[in-house]
Amino acid sequence: MVQKGSVSPAKARGRPRSYDPEVVLDQVRDTFWKHGYSATSLDDLCAATGLNRPSLYGGFGDKRALYLAALEHSRAEMVVSLKRGLALPGSLRDSLTLVYSAASTIYRAGGEGQRGCFLIGTAVTESVADPQVRAILDAAFGELDAAFAERLAAELPPGADPRPLAQMATAVLHTLAVRARAGAGEAVLRGIYETGVELLCSACGPKATP
């Protein structure tokens, strides 16, 4: 669920849009992801999207609104992807390994270096001074924790609280993102998440460690 106060593309006036807002947000996100929020200019965003300033302003608002919209877009994609991965048939070990392996591949992507996670790589810095960025980041972490908690709860004894383990599971994602951003290769990241999977499954008990 999108938090109250989140940014959505503004309604365009005049002629109908001749572009796909989802594609534009992907292009905007890629630009912020590459340069960071502060170093990205409106000219950069215009060049990346092929739209002029009036079109960007009319469809999304100013630079900050574009960034917030890109954050929300990324948050929603990330949560949906995690829930889908955790819902696939298989053991807890299989589910966690699949999720972390896929995340590792995404985090190592990037034409000019491994980009890591968009939210971790850009929003953590901006959240210090921007309450709305901080709210989006907090919402994303909460939704990731909740998705992991739902899956882990099925492996725990009745009445056990899955939230601490879920936060650890989310923390593994954060670690992979940061390490990838710093240049860690596939073998290093695999070693991290395989250890994380082992710890999580062991903490859940024999049912989760076939």
Q: pLDDT of 20-37, one tens digit each?
A: 889 999 999 999 999 999
- CATH fold of 74-208 reads Tetracycline Repressor; domain 2 (1.10.357)
The domain locations on the chain are: 74-208
Closest CA to 142 of 78, 48, 64, 190: 78
Cα angle 67, 147, 131; round to 5: 30
Measured in degrees and rounded to the nearest 5, phi and psi for residue 53 equal -60, -45
pLDDT tens digits, one per residue of 158-188: 899 999 999 999 999 999 999 999 999 999 9
pTM recorded for the entire structure? 0.86
Q: Is the pLDDT of residue 13 over 50?
A: no
